[in-house]
Amino acid sequence: MNTNLQTPIDYLKGVGPNRADLLRKELGIYTYQDLINLFPNRYLDRTKYYKINSLQKNAADIQIIGEIIKFREVAQKRGKRLVATFKDETGTIELVWFRGQKWIRERLKLNTPYVVFGKVNWFNGKFNIPHPDIELKTEHDGNLRSAMQAIYPSTEKLLNKGITNRVMTKIMQNLFLETKGKFAETLSEKLLKNLQLISKSEALFNIHFPQNLDALFKAEFRLKFEELFYIQLQLILKNLIHKSKIKGFPFETVGAHFNSFYKDHLPFELTNAQKRVLKEIRHDLGSNAQMNRLLQGDVGSGKTIVALMSMLIALDNGFQACLMAPTEILSVQHYNGLLYLCKSLNISIKRLTGSSKTSERKKIHEALENGELNLLIGTHALLEDKVKFKNLGLAVIDEQHRFGVAQRSKLWKKNTSPPHILVMTATPIPRTLAMSIYGDLDLSVIDELPPGRKAIKTVHRYDSNRLKVFKFMRDEIDKGRQVYIVYPLIQESEKMDYKDLMDGYESIARDFPAPKYQISIVHGKMKPSDKDYEMQRFVKGETNIMVATTVIEVGVNVPNASVMIIESAERFGLSQLHQLRGRVGRGAEQSYCILMTSHKLSNDSKTRLETMVRTNDGFEIAEVDLRLRGPGDIMGTQQSGILNLRIADIIKDNDILEQARYHAKQLLAKDPSLGQPHNAVILETYRQMSKYKNIWNYIS
Ligand code: ADP
Ligand code: MG
């Protein structure tokens, strides 16, 4: 019990300065504590032996009994590799070493029974095992083995330097010997009892040296629960502190603007989901605390009208409101849309972006500061220091994945008190993930599309079918519809992508000649005013085809466009494909999405395409995306690594997460400061985690 877990790893028996250095660099293990938290990736049955002739491609780690019958050295680009032929009664396999060859050569004997253990590779038509663990059969027989041997995360460098899984296991054993396997409890008696959790010491022992499957499951459950519990505790605490410390403007009345709009100018009946979400927002705005809410709703679910009505509440209470969009095009569209919706309300609306003229800008700045301007729509330009509001009451941020947390907080500084904030996103983050990442935001979900929408029909076509696709386009255009054709534009290879786009445009211009057909083109390199002009021509129906890059990905609303053709669809991510598809299916007509690809497709690309063809459900798509890419990636690189879970899996352990959140909430409801004696252990653990920054790894 006396070993301090903050002891540097160098001091542990079997480690030493060189290995300590490697463990630090390769696995981020600095202390005993870090090592104990290096949880196995999986477990292996070491009572089971394979025969060489029954090996399978992409088999996991296996062990074989046999003898080395010869060694040879093979020259390669840099240096050489050592290859041993290993034989059992059914065949031979190669063992390969790229480093430490001298040592291996001197130590291993020919024609002597060994047990080798490692991951099997398929290379040049043969099986081999690179850098295997290898043990004399006589020694192996003398060791105790369990049916579940822990396999630790490793790196090539560690393996090359001889820190094999066997060595890691040995080091772990030393840690348990030195600490006598006694570790301080980190959850309260009450939680342990209520959830029937095993103790910390028991859990750690069984995660590293499981005695049987049941013990392993119990250990996993306890450690996953603990991990998720402390993350949730932190998120909820942050939220509570936020609500108690940060006073918002209470919008007490729902007044003339809102009521008149609701009664006389609403162009359609709100869906039940929209009504529910509006209620949640109204409740927040009416309370004393500052609202910090995430509004999630699939493309086309009608978030804009909710945003507008929320802004009207701000106006009714004598405040200004703003709406920030991620792109110029989208800001134009919001501006035009809101102007139209508000045409018979007596409010002033303006648009401000990077390309606004200086004179126009000046006027807007003035009107903002003296309060004449009620509603400001724009892009990042709204964040500039020069933009000062008289009294900003509500800021709406559309398509939040393009805005970072830092920008959100910039908005706060525009006022004496921070405005209420409504963040809207069409990225259908699975609820589990939203709970973990945005635990500090309250969540509203529009889970219903407006009535009368026809499901978009999605198909996958190979480039070789292009002529048929063109024919289909002509038919649709003859019916009066409009068509999008989107090309990938991925920054690193921008030049090439740009060429793809221009080539595509020319070929389409040939097949769809003027004057019968009119084509717009929009891409990121155009001047904003040219982009606007082209976009507007398409919006007004003056052009039949819009050739574009992904700049049209978010928000653009042209109900008459019924065909979305995505070129090189295999190069897009799932959520991007879904976003793009969401540009059609906005009107009364049947809409189509055609995913064009070459014949060369990776397995992941196939899964993405199949998923798109199978379903229109954004949440289902997000879950597949999450599986394919992992949670770190899903928010874009900006926020990657946000969830560095050690043992829990944000998708598979959804139910444990819900339990953890429930118990964290319960606990804080009764004891918000964690001051009660029976929660002392939780307070202490929480402090330790914050002190050693363990917990901050999870949160950006
Ligand atoms: P998104 O959530 O993707 O931002 P929008 O707010 O742009 O969706 O709405 C998509 C389309 O649906 C718009 O044309 C809008 O006018 C329409 N719409 C929104 N709500 C309803 C509703 N309750 N009934 C009918 N149409 C609606
Ligand atoms: Mg939108």
Type of residue found at 1: M
Q: Whose atoms come closest to the Cα of 338: which ligand? A: 1
Residues 6 or more apart whose CB falls under 8 angstroms from that of 581 comprise: 299, 456, 458, 564, 566, 593, 612, 616
Any atom of ligand 1 within 6 Å of the Cβ of 426:
yes
Type of residue found at 601: L
User: Are residues 270 and 235 part of one domain?
Assistant: no
**Model pLDDT, residue 641:** 39
Picking from 119, 72, 113, the residue whose alpha carbon sits closest to that of residue 89 is 113
User: Are residues 591 and 665 part of one domain?
Assistant: no
Picking from 338, 286, 346, the residue whose alpha carbon sits closest to that of residue 307 is 338
What is the CATH number for 107? Answer: 2.40.50.140
- Does residue 39 lie within any of the structural domains? no
- Does residue 436 lie within any of the structural domains? no
- Does residue 665 lie within any of the structural domains? yes
Any atom of ligand 1 within 6 Å of the Cβ of 334:
no
- The SS3 assignment for 80 reads strand
User: Are residues 359 and 269 part of one domain?
Assistant: yes
Residue nearest to atom 16 of ligand 1 (CA): 302
Environment class of 315 (CB within 10 Å of its CB; exposed 0-12, middle 13-18, buried 19+): buried
Task: Place 472 in a pLDDT band, splitting at 50, 70 and 90.
Answer: very high
User: Are residues 405 and 260 part of one domain?
Assistant: yes
- Measured in angstroms, how far is the CA atom of residue 331 from the centroid of ligand 1? 16
User: Are residues 192 and 107 part of one domain?
Assistant: no
User: Are residues 310 and 220 part of one domain?
Assistant: no
Range of the domain at 333: 256-285+302-425
Residue nearest to atom 20 of ligand 1 (CA): 302
CA dihedral 468, 472, 475, 478 (to 10 degrees): -110
- Measured in angstroms, how far is the CA atom of residue 287 from the centroid of ligand 1? 28
Interval 90-104: pLDDT, tens: 999 999 998 888 888
**Model pLDDT, residue 695:** 47
**Model pLDDT, residue 404:** 53
- Measured in angstroms, how far is the CA atom of residue 304 from the centroid of ligand 1? 7
DSSP state letter for 209: S
User: Are residues 329 and 197 part of one domain?
Assistant: no
User: Are residues 588 and 471 part of one domain?
Assistant: yes
Task: Place 575 in a pLDDT band, splitting at 50, 70 and 90.
Answer: confident
pLDDT at 37 over 70: yes
The listed range with the strongest mean pLDDT (237-251, 464-478, 529-543, 581-595) is 464-478
Average pLDDT of 141-163? 82
**Model pLDDT, residue 83:** 94
Last residue of a domain, one of 615, 636, 671: 615
- Measured in angstroms, how far is the CA atom of residue 341 from the centroid of ligand 1? 12
- Does residue 690 lie within any of the structural domains? yes
Any atom of ligand 1 within 6 Å of the Cβ of 305:
yes
Query: Total domain count for the chain?
Result: 4
Tell me how far apart the alpha carbons of residues 226 and 688 are, in angstroms, rounded to a whole number: 14
630-631-635 Cα angle (round to 5): 120
Picking from 95, 93, 80, the residue whose alpha carbon sits closest to that of residue 125 is 93
- Does residue 452 lie within any of the structural domains? no
- Dig out the tokens for 567 from the structure: 């070129």
Substitution site in 298, 304, 425 for ligand 1 pocket (most atoms within 8 Å of beta carbon):
304
- Does residue 159 lie within any of the structural domains? no
Q: Give 127's strand partners.
A: 122
The listed range with the strongest mean pLDDT (132-136, 150-154, 542-546, 554-558) is 542-546
User: Are residues 478 and 576 part of one domain?
Assistant: yes
The listed range with the strongest mean pLDDT (194-208, 277-291, 634-648) is 194-208
Higher pLDDT, 667 or 635: 667
**Model pLDDT, residue 598:** 92
User: Are residues 586 and 646 part of one domain?
Assistant: no
pLDDT at 608 over 80: yes
- Measured in angstroms, how far is the CA atom of residue 440 from the centroid of ligand 2? 23
Residues 6 or more apart whose CB falls under 8 angstroms from that of 299 comprise: 426, 578, 579, 581, 582, 583, 618
Residues 6 or more apart whose CB falls under 8 angstroms from that of 162 comprise: 100, 103
What is the CATH number for 590? Answer: 3.40.50.300
Helices (H) and strands (E) in the chain, counts: 25, 22
Task: Place 219 in a pLDDT band, splitting at 50, 70 and 90.
Answer: very high
- The SS3 assignment for 378 reads strand
Q: Whose atoms come closest to the Cα of 587: which ligand? A: 1
Q: Give 532's strand partners.
A: none
DSSP state letter for 440: T
Any atom of ligand 1 within 6 Å of the Cβ of 274:
yes
**Model pLDDT, residue 462:** 95
The answer to whether the CB of 440 falls within 8 A of the CB of 240 is no
Interval 377-406: pLDDT, tens: 998 888 888 899 999 999 999 876 555 555
Three-class SS of 475-519: HHHHCCCEEEEECCCCHHHHHHHHHHHHHHHHHHHHHCCCCCCCE
pLDDT at 376 over 90: yes
User: Are residues 91 and 137 part of one domain?
Assistant: yes
Substitution site in 557, 578, 616 for ligand 1 pocket (most atoms within 8 Å of beta carbon):
557
Cβ neighbours of 477 (radius 10 Å):
19
Interval 502-561: pLDDT, tens: 888 999 999 999 899 999 998 878 887 888 889 889 999 999 999 998 777 555 788 899
Question: Which of 255-259, 572-576, 661-665 shows the lowest mean pLDDT across its residues?
Answer: 572-576
Tell me how far apart the alpha carbons of residues 483 and 593 are, in angstroms, rounded to a whole number: 10
Substitution site in 262, 268, 581 for ligand 1 pocket (most atoms within 8 Å of beta carbon):
268
Tell me how far apart the alpha carbons of residues 64 and 140 are, in angstroms, rounded to a whole number: 12
pLDDT at 465 over 80: yes
Helix (H), strand (E) at residue 428: none
pLDDT at 32 over 50: yes
Helix (H), strand (E) at residue 229: helix 213-245
Last residue of a domain, one of 598, 615, 632: 615
Q: Whose atoms come closest to the Cα of 583: which ligand? A: 1
User: Are residues 691 and 556 part of one domain?
Assistant: no
Last residue of a domain, one of 615, 641, 657: 615
pLDDT at 613 over 50: yes
Any atom of ligand 1 within 6 Å of the Cβ of 523:
no
Picking from 356, 357, 405, 409, the residue whose alpha carbon sits closest to that of residue 379 is 356
**Model pLDDT, residue 642:** 44
The reported pTM is: 0.65
- Does residue 95 lie within any of the structural domains? yes
Interval 179-203: pLDDT, tens: 999 999 999 999 999 999 999 999 9
Tell me how far apart the alpha carbons of residues 134 and 192 are, in angstroms, rounded to a whole number: 41
- Does residue 210 lie within any of the structural domains? yes
Q: Determine the atom of ligand 1 nearest the C-alpha atom of 271.
A: 23
